[in-house]
Structure 1
Amino acid sequence: MSQRVQGVIARSKGAPVELTTIVVPDPGPGEAVVAIQACGVCHTDLHYREGGINDDFPFLLGHEAAGVVESVGAGVTDVAPGDFVVLNWRAVCGVCRACRKGKPWYCFATHNAGQKMTLEDGTELSPALGIGAFAEKTLVHAGQCTKVDPRARAAAVGLLGCGVMAGIGAAINTGGVTRGDSVAVIGCGGVGDGAVVGAALAGATTIIAIDTDDQKLEWAKGFGATHTVNARGVDVVEKVKELTGGFGADVVVEAVGRPETYEQAFYARDLAGTVVLVGVPTPDMKIELPLLEIFGRGGALKSSWYGDCLPTRDFPMLTDLYLQGRLDLDAFVTEEIPLGGVEEAFKKMHTGGVLRSVVVSSS
């Protein structure tokens, strides 16, 4: 039988979110119902609310989540009821051209649940990133469930489902940061601090955190930044060069998604260095760079999709590092809030002072 649970929806563009009753169907073939224990409030959810992703309202928001599998549909063998999982939005298909090339982290046909969750009147909901986890329970494709060690704190490891993984992966998987490298990270929110953590895990010896918020720079130091730069009134490019022997950084991670910060990243890298764009721009943004500079500087200009992660590989490994005390995911959690606190959490994104608000289950 379908279940009626509480969930947070965005009914129309720019309107405050609503806590309301949603209907979760029994899982069909290849699907799973997951009881959500924790879900981070990510800027992507705000993008959905503001119509910045698409206009398929109403949206069931939330996607950065961990919980316990409650039930599974026919043919599901990789997870079972009772498994503790982190949800992902890259359930690889195994047959697209990327998967067949042995690059499943680029999968172009990722799986989502085939059925729709609805409002009580039958209105179909669009789950954020195919997940919709600001809810007591949600329906996903079973491939979106990645088993991790159940000893882990849900509010912490749930963040691997999006922002923290995007940042760590941008540094390690996309940027290829390795021991002895110099790394600059522009924008020190959850994703940017994830990139700082990734650079530190990979053995970078110079890690420069750049932001306009002193509180965020302090957080970045706690995650492993060796230097911080407040970009207000400072030439960011020259400062990065000053801190890297006059050369620029081997890898620059742009975690803001704006033309002006991307241009800073482009010029702040060393010759043959790498720029990684992991910040999400809006459709109207454009950038203009001299083609000769692109050619003359060499290196690579990359975009990082979900940190180019493979959830089945990366989530369990990072959870193990967390349990070993080598990856402080708890430090990303600024506050724990109830389902009804999502709108207030969105407001805090604009005022600062919060790295991640995390919705936690009351049950």
Structure 2
Amino acid sequence: MMHRVRGVVVHGKGEPVSVETILVPDPGPGEALVDILTCGVCHTDLAYQQGGINDEYPFLLGHEATGVVAAVGDDVTEVAVGDRVILNWRAVCGQCRACRRGEPQYCFDTHNATQKMTLEDGTVLSPALGIGAFAEKTLVAAGQCTRVSEAADPAAVGLLGCGVMAGIGAAMNTGGVQHGDSVAVIGCGGVGTAAVAGARLAGATTIIAVDIDDDKLARTRNFGATHTINSRNQDPVAAIRELTGGNGADVVIEAVGRPETYEQAFYARDLAGVVVLVGVPTPDMKIELPLLEVFGRGGALKSSWYGDCLPSRDFPMLVQHYLNGNLDLDGFVTERIGIDDVEAAFEKMHTGNVLRSVVEIS
């Protein structure tokens, strides 16, 4: 059976999105059909529209989603009909070399639904990050569904599906922030602000937010920043050192993805400290560092992909922290919009005043 539903589609590079009828098949083996409740508007969706991911148009956009399982295919044991789930783009295979060595968060063979969703004329859609959740229903691999409590606001916890998890995980998983650590976060958009929240949740006592926008800096205070630095007005390396006894921070998280801010992160960490790159650079960017400085400072230079998360482990834990009042996911929801408002939400991203617009679908 094919389900006719509305979804947000982009047909070509830079073209405006449109809400169209799409066809979603019943789930086959290992697949799940999900009724979407909410889906956050992420910069990755904008990147798909602008041709920054690949050219496999048309795309069915949306991926930061919460939904309810409507049907499952054969051999599905992870979830059942009626389960409230957050969707993820790391459905681990269980068989690759990372999974076999007990590190499924680095799975090299994550998978998506086998069957394809299409337009009414049969044109195959490419779902964003293998999800495609700006739609009333979507088809995913069952492993892309993580069961969570129905007590949580779906608009808030769905954001764990991408950007918020990336930031929190950069602090807690990749950076390994510990109680009493000092942490600096360079770049305070959605991911950087989530890194601030993750640092507080992990027990850091000095949390320094760095950005060039005073409004963004002020906002980080609500998520746990103890100090803020406007790097237009201050040398951020010197300022971070001054706030950490002249030593530098134990963990510095770069959430911009530019060579100049990465260099700031490198020099702003303490000896044997950790630098985490979670900002996404473009393919042409390069960085040059004195090799002796890399050697002499020790510590670790890490990159963080999806916050090094394991959804089955991290989503329920973070949702419980949210329900217990320890993690303010509600604060990331700037506005709630309809499925017809995605293009306007993309425009608002350019102002920098929106952490997340969230589409409420059902």
Match of 2:52 in 1: 52
* Equivalent residues of 1:52, 1:282 under 8 A apart: no
Identity %: 75
How far is the alpha carbon of 1:231 from its aligned partner?
A: 1.4
For the pair 1:330 / 2:305, whether they are aligned, the reply is no
Secondary structure at 1:358's aligned position in 2? Answer: strand
Match of 1:159 in 2: 159
Secondary structure at 1:326's aligned position in 2? Answer: coil
For the pair 1:221 / 2:221, whether they are aligned, the reply is yes
- Return the alpha-carbon distance in structure 2 between the equivalents of residues 59 and 274 of structure 1: 37
Match of 2:13 in 1: 13
- Return the alpha-carbon distance in structure 1 between the equivalents of residues 217 and 64 of structure 2: 23
What whole-Å deviation, never above 9, does each CA across 1:187-214 have from its counterpart, x for those lacking one? 1111111111111111111000111111
Point out 4+ residue stretches in structure 1 off by more than 2 angstroms: none
Match of 2:231 in 1: 231
Per the normalisation by structure 2, the TM-score is: 0.99
Q: Aligned AA for 2:116?
A: K
- Return the alpha-carbon distance in structure 2 between the equivalents of residues 92 and 225 of structure 1: 34
What whole-Å deviation, never above 9, does each CA across 1:320-354 have from its counterpart, x for those lacking one? 11111111110000000111111111111111211
Match of 1:86 in 2: 86
For the pair 1:307 / 2:310, whether they are aligned, the reply is no
How far is the alpha carbon of 1:44 from its aligned partner?
A: 0.9
1:32-43 superposed matches below 5 A: 32-43=32-43
How far is the alpha carbon of 1:136 from its aligned partner?
A: 0.8
How far is the alpha carbon of 1:57 from its aligned partner?
A: 1.0
Gaps spanning 5+ residues in structure 1: where? none
How far is the alpha carbon of 1:233 from its aligned partner?
A: 2.9
- Return the alpha-carbon distance in structure 2 between the equivalents of residues 81 and 140 of structure 1: 14
* Equivalent residues of 1:87, 1:131 under 8 A apart: yes
Q: Aligned AA for 1:347?
A: E
* Equivalent residues of 1:63, 1:133 under 8 A apart: yes
How far is the alpha carbon of 1:276 from its aligned partner?
A: 0.3
- Return the alpha-carbon distance in structure 1 between the equivalents of residues 347 and 250 of structure 2: 36
- Return the alpha-carbon distance in structure 2 between the equivalents of residues 283 and 46 of structure 1: 17
* Equivalent residues of 2:189, 2:352 under 8 A apart: no
Secondary structure at 1:301's aligned position in 2? Answer: strand
1:264-283 superposed matches below 5 A: 264-283=264-283
- Return the alpha-carbon distance in structure 2 between the equivalents of residues 187 and 343 of structure 1: 25
- Return the alpha-carbon distance in structure 2 between the equivalents of residues 202 and 99 of structure 1: 26
- Return the alpha-carbon distance in structure 1 between the equivalents of residues 351 and 114 of structure 2: 38
CA RMSD of aligned residues (A): 0.8
Secondary structure at 1:69's aligned position in 2? Answer: strand
What whole-Å deviation, never above 9, does each CA across 1:124-151 have from its counterpart, x for those lacking one? 1111111011111100000000000011
- Return the alpha-carbon distance in structure 2 between the equivalents of residues 190 and 321 of structure 1: 19
1:131-150 superposed matches below 5 A: 131-150=131-150
Gaps spanning 5+ residues in structure 2: where? none
1:43-192 superposed matches below 5 A: 43-192=43-192
